[in-house]
């Protein structure tokens, strides 16, 4: 039986919730929405749930345009210990997902496996550009009918998480793009993308650029104002586009610590591994080779030095400086398979 067949067999006869990571982004929402529609076709009703707000206008526009029903954990009044939960675009035990009362029995994700992943009865974890890629692959492999709204949402999620196919792309992502594009509404995607930076963030965006410190291609940006997680990620992507910067650490003060967003454009500087090692004694972090996130507790940082900015820089640079850097040889990329690896994730 296929992976999808295994999942359907597991879910039958149970009340099912699809849980995204906290403060869900377009990829998480699209993946949950695509999975919900897929399971509806097998007479398995589901509820999409999450913790936190949907923070961006573009994300809210997508939810509204497709009528996606998103339920916050505070609104879940009747979930029981017998209910089944599918974690989508995250894994149990990670810092970015709140534990709910139901049973986390399944996981569909594109991040590296966590130490808790062995506890799932079903898991489909593949290192691809987006979780939407995996959901769309179910439709493609099993030739399932797909609504235009589902194709559009999945394609938008794929574009967002790969930063328009410039980050973490595999051959499967390219194949899925070709599969989704003719089924989707390109005008809607352009509409969603037009709201990715909001008007009231422009001044904050400009202020952020004044707080950039660079050490041998590694940029540190402190955002000294209240902002959403998605804005931190936007700053990370923007700074990485600056010439001669190939690794970016952006951080923002929260109630008891600092939220981090990290980006890398060098294969040898694995963002997920670096943030995990850098923050292991003061918090936690993880993610992909090119993009990662984490959290550090203020008390732990000040315990090292009252100058927490310098402490943060040293924590990352002490890890990065031990890694030989080859840089990017633009003349060496002559084979498209070097940009889009041909690994198949079946």
Selection from 83, 79, 173 nearest residue 126 by Cα: 173
Q: Looking at residues 262-276, what average pLDDT do you find?
A: 93
Residue-wise pLDDT for 250-268, tens only, equals: 999 988 999 999 999 998 9
Q: Looking at residues 294-312, what average pLDDT do you find?
A: 94
Residue-wise pLDDT for 104-143, tens only, equals: 999 999 988 888 888 999 999 999 999 999 999 999 999 9
Looking at per-residue pLDDT, the higher value among 38 and 343 belongs to 38
Tell me the two tokens of residue 303: 């315990």
Range from 64-68, 111-115, 224-228, 239-243 carrying the lowest mean pLDDT: 224-228
Give the E-state strand segments of the chain in sequence order: 16-19, 46-50, 70-72, 84-88, 103-109, 122-125, 212-215, 218-223, 247-253, 257-264, 283-287, 291-297
Domains of the chain by range and CATH?
Answer: 3-193 (3.90.1640.10), 200-320 (3.10.310.40)
Contact between 331 and 295 under an 8 Å Cβ cutoff? The reply is no
In the chain, the percentage of residues whose pLDDT exceeds 90 is: 63
């Amino acid at each position: 039986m296929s992976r999808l067949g295994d999942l359907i067999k597991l879910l039958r006869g149970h009340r099912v919730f699809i849980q995204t990571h906290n403060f869900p982004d377009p990829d998480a929402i699209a993946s949950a929405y695509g999975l919900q529609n897929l399971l509806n076709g097998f007479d398995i009703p589901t509820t999409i749930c999450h913790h936190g707000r949907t923070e961006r206008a573009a994300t809210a526009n997508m939810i509204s345009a497709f009528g996606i029903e998103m339920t916050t954990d505070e609104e879940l009044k009747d979930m029981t210990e017998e209910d089944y939960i599918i974690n989508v675009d995250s894994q149990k035990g990670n810092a970015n997902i709140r534990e709910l009362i139901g049973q986390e029995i399944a996981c569909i994700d594109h991040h590296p496996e966590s130490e808790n992943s062995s506890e799932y009865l079903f898991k489909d974890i593949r290192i691809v550009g987006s979780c939407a890629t995996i959901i769309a692959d179910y439709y493609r492999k099993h030739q399932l009918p797909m609504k235009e709204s589902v194709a559009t949402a999945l394609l938008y999620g794929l574009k967002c998480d790969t930063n328009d196919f410039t980050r973490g792309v595999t051959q499967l992502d390219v194949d899925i793009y070709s599969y989704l594009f003719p089924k989707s509404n390109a005008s809607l995607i352009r509409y969603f993308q037009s709201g990715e930076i909001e008007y009231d963030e422009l001044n904050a965006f400009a202020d952020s650029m004044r707080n950039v410190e660079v050490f041998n291609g590694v940029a540190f940006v402190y955002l000294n104002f209240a902002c959403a997680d998605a804005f931190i990620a936007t700053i990370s992507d923007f700074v990485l586009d600056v010439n001669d910067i190939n690794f970016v650490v952006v951080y923002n003060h929260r109630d008891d610590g600092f939220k981090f967003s990290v980006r890398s454009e060098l294969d040898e500087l694995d963002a997920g591994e670096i943030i995990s090692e850098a923050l292991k004694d003061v918090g936690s972090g993880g993610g992909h080779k090119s993009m990662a996130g984490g959290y550090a507790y203020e008390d732990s940082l000040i315990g090292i030095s009252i100058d927490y900015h310098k402490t943060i820089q040293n924590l990352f640079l002490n890890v990065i400086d031990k890694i030989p850097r080859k840089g990017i040889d633009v003349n060496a990329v002559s084979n498209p398979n070097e940009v889009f690896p041909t690994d198949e994730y079946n």
